[in-house]
Amino acid sequence: MRILLGITGGIAAYKAANLIRAFSEAGHEVTVLPTENALRFIGQPTLEALSGHNIDIDMYSDVEKVRHVSLGQDADAIVVAPATAAFLGRLAAGIADDLLMNAILASEAPIFLAPAMHTEMWQNPATRANIQTLEERGIRIMEPASGRLTGEDSGPGRMPEVEEIFDFVLSLGALRGKKVIVTAGGTREPIDAVRYIGNSSSGRMGIEIAKAARDQGADVTLIAANIEAVLPAGIKIEHVSTVDDLEIAMDHPSDILVMAAAVSDFKVEKPYPGKLKRSGSMELTLTATKDLIAAYSANHQNAYCVGFALADNDADLEQVARQKLWDKGLKLVVGNRVSALGTKDTSVLLVENDKASELTGTKQEVAKALVAFISQSVSV
Ligand SMILES: Cc1cc2nc3c(=O)[nH]c(=O)nc-3n(C[C@H](O)[C@H](O)[C@H](O)COP(=O)(O)O)c2cc1C
């Protein structure tokens, strides 16, 4: 793979030397492109010797080679480590004022960033907003590590270790060429023209799973049932409302289906076409909806189907999840408890035919670990 390695002007720039070596030793062709400020932290001769090529960061030299475009277009992946707060801001705003920024904007290659800065800079609202913008554009951003920073301080902001950056860049792509369908949110079954039977699912978990699958190189379709959150870039989105809509949207073959949407078990037999008026009392007749995931797994035997099971707090979670696995012919069931709903951190039990393992963390962390687990199982 041809890797364009950008280095920006942070204290961790010296660590990029080992990153050049790690990528080169693994057989990748590394083109190093430091910013002017990066060269205050690490010497050009070091970078030239390790990468085996001359480094010229002047945008206006060798103009006949149109390097400000070709450097980006020739890359299969762009990695920027360390990425300064200033760089994140310039990239979020699209300010192409040096060779590295021009190359990045001229490229369609996947971009991986390893930000490193003081904790306050990392947590500053401006940096948070830039990170959100970049993630929404599909740029893959590593969470900085916690530990000793420049001077006496310590906290989140350290550049992750070289091995971790290496793994982050190269483990991605495990789902390249795979078609993944993720359902998220909650269905709504109309009672009348304005009221419905719904649920409180925010869709956050499904969105994070879709992002993690996208970041592994998959071709992802996110079927969003009544989600209000901002939906990620780099993913095909289909909006649905009812169980019937969802069934139609799901009617496509896939390599992996993750059914994270909360699907209504009932629908109103005859929704009222207008708005029902208040009256003393009324009765609604509910009928059971179709079991979409069971039908999907029966019709798409080669798909790796993942379901979710929500169990009462006093239930045997593993037992509930495994029963669902067998009943619906699934490969994996992600079990969680009612008490975990609405909490910031989440804890789930991954239940397979013969084993179970627990994942704990934020929804984003759990989603990434779940997708890593699925991609391993699919590649076996
Ligand atoms: C000693 C020192 C260490 C620095 N370390 C960092 C850092 O780790 N992260 C960061 O975002 N900025 C850091 N800065 C500030 C950047 O060097 C500054 O924002 C610069 O404009 C970044 O330029 P560049 O993004 O074009 O490479 C540091 C500055 C100094 C003087």
Which of the two residues, 305 and 160, has the higher pLDDT score? Answer: 305
Q: Which fold has domain 2-171?
A: Rossmann fold (3.40.50)
Return the CATH number of the domain spanning residue range 179-379. Answer: 3.40.50.10300
Confidence of residue 28 (pLDDT cuts 50, 70, 90): confident
Look-up of token digits 């008490």: 339
Q: Whose CA is nearest to atom 5 of ligand 1?
A: 10
Kindly tell me if the per-residue pLDDT of 90 is higher than 90: yes
Kindly tell me if the per-residue pLDDT of 138 is higher than 80: yes
User: Quick check: bond before 82 cis, omega within 30?
Assistant: yes
**235-276 confidence digits (pLDDT tens):** 899 999 999 999 999 999 999 999 999 999 999 999 999 999
The string over 8-32, giving b where at least 16 C-beta atoms fall within 10 Å of a residue's C-beta and e elsewhere, is bbbbbbebbbebbebbeeeebbbbb
In whole angstroms, what is the distance from residue 134 CA to residue 113 CA?
10
The string of DSSP letters for 218-236 reads: -EEEEEEES--SPPPSSSE
Q: According to the model, what pLDDT value does residue 183 have?
A: 98
In whole angstroms, what is the distance from residue 92 CA to residue 252 CA?
35
Pocket of ligand 1, beta carbon within 6 A: 8-12, 35, 37-38, 84-87, 116-117, 121, 150
Q: How far is the CA of 11 from the centre of ligand 1 (A)?
A: 7
Q: According to the model, what pLDDT value does residue 341 have?
A: 73
**313-366 confidence digits (pLDDT tens):** 999 999 999 999 999 999 999 999 988 777 778 899 999 999 999 999 998 889
Kindly tell me if the per-residue pLDDT of 380 is higher than 80: no
Q: According to the model, what pLDDT value does residue 172 have?
A: 66
In whole angstroms, what is the distance from residue 181 CA to residue 184 CA?
10
Confidence of residue 279 (pLDDT cuts 50, 70, 90): confident
Q: How far is the CA of 378 from the centre of ligand 1 (A)?
A: 42
Q: Whose CA is nearest to atom 3 of ligand 1?
A: 11
In whole angstroms, what is the distance from residue 280 CA to residue 270 CA?
20
Range name among 83-92, 116-125, 173-182, 337-346 with the lowest pLDDT average: 337-346
Give the pTM: 0.63
In whole angstroms, what is the distance from residue 67 CA to residue 328 CA?
55
Mean pLDDT (the chain, rounded): 93
Using a pLDDT cut of 90, give the percent of the chain over it.
Answer: 76
**Chain region(s) in the chain for CATH 3.40.50.1950:** 2-171
**Chain region(s) in the chain for CATH 3.40.50.10300:** 179-379
Mean pLDDT throughout 291-304? Answer: 97
In whole angstroms, what is the distance from residue 33 CA to residue 80 CA?
9
Q: Whose CA is nearest to atom 2 of ligand 1?
A: 11
Alpha-carbon distance values, 60 to 57, 103, 158 (Å):
9, 13, 34
**55-65 confidence digits (pLDDT tens):** 999 999 989 98
> What residues are annotated to the active site?
199
Q: Ligand 1, closest atom to CA 38? A: 27
Q: Whose CA is nearest to atom 11 of ligand 1?
A: 84
Q: According to the model, what pLDDT value does residue 173 have?
A: 72
Q: According to the model, what pLDDT value does residue 366 have?
A: 94
